[in-house]
Amino acid sequence: MANHPSAWKRIRQSEKRTFRNKFYRTRMKSFIKQVREAVKEKDAKQAVVHLQAATKVISKTASKGVIHKRTAARKISRLTRQVNTLRVS
């Protein structure tokens, strides 16, 4: 266990960050899930609407440092490809 005041502070900070990061990560996953469900139901209009919202949330999550910027780009790219398969076919 921590005995130094700075170590106690570090514990408090990491708990706060963990809680905040969990919030952003869970929120991002929920938005991604909405896009995937719309794609699964083959509802192109809903998929596009959900994709726009998910893109915004994923980018914001990356800008907060919760996920890496390339991870965000990869997630957005994959979701966009899935939605585009609905629009073309």
Q: Hey, what amino acid is at 32?
A: I
Q: What is the pLDDT of residue 24?
A: 97
Helices (H), 1-89: 5-40, 44-63, 69-88
Q: What is the pLDDT of residue 2?
A: 79
CA distance 68 to 70: 5
Residue pLDDT, tens place only, 11-38? 999 999 999 999 999 999 999 999 999 9
The answer regarding whether domain 5-88 maps to CATH 1.20.58.110 reads: yes
Contacts of 59 (CB under 8 A, 6+ apart): 72, 76
Domain ranges of the chain: 5-88
Q: What is the pLDDT of residue 70?
A: 98
Estimate the crossing angle of helix 69-88 against helix 5-40, to 10 degrees.
Answer: 10
Residue pLDDT, tens place only, 29-83? 999 999 999 999 999 999 999 999 999 999 999 999 999 999 999 999 999 999 9
Q: What is the pLDDT of residue 88?
A: 65
- In contact, 58 and 28? CB cutoff 8 Å: yes
